[in-house]
Amino acid sequence: MSKASSVDKEPSEAERLARACAEAAADKKAEDIQIIDLRGISDFTDFFVVCSGTSDPQLKAIAAGVRERAREEFGAGALGEEGGPISRWVVIDFAQVIVHVFHREARSFYMLEDLWGDAPRVPFDATQGS
């Protein structure tokens, strides 16, 4: 396969789901949204979407928005969800995509992105969220 054809390749369904989750988070004013590409690095998921909120109600709203968008656009229900505003970290598992919604301080404490520092980031511009 030529280099040009691999660059022009359509995104996988998992990548499209990750982008949709990131857009849903952006719609709820999530901060510092990152899509981490774990394909070839992890055998349990293809993408992480990591974002932050500033309050318990915002964490709830972001998580609800992500679940709703995945269901509406992909027919994807979460396989599981852990945490909540009290824990300051919500994890939503869609198998190929795992969404981490952190309270800002919890995200700084756990530094999840640093644990996967060798994984490439998928470009995402929150201002382009729908």
The HSE-up count of residue 55 (CA atoms within 13 Å, CB side) is 5
pLDDT band, very low/low/confident/very high, at 128 (cuts 50, 70, 90): low
Over residues 70-113, the pLDDT tens digits come to 999 999 899 999 998 789 999 999 999 999 999 999 999 999 99
Which residue(s) pair with 49 in the sheet?
35, 99
CA distance linking residue 38 with residue 116, whole number of Å: 8
Over residues 1-50, the pLDDT tens digits come to 434 434 457 889 999 999 999 999 999 999 999 999 999 999 999 999 99
What domains are defined for the chain?
12-117 (3.30.460.10)
User: What's phi and psi for 123, nearest 5 deg?
Assistant: -60, 130
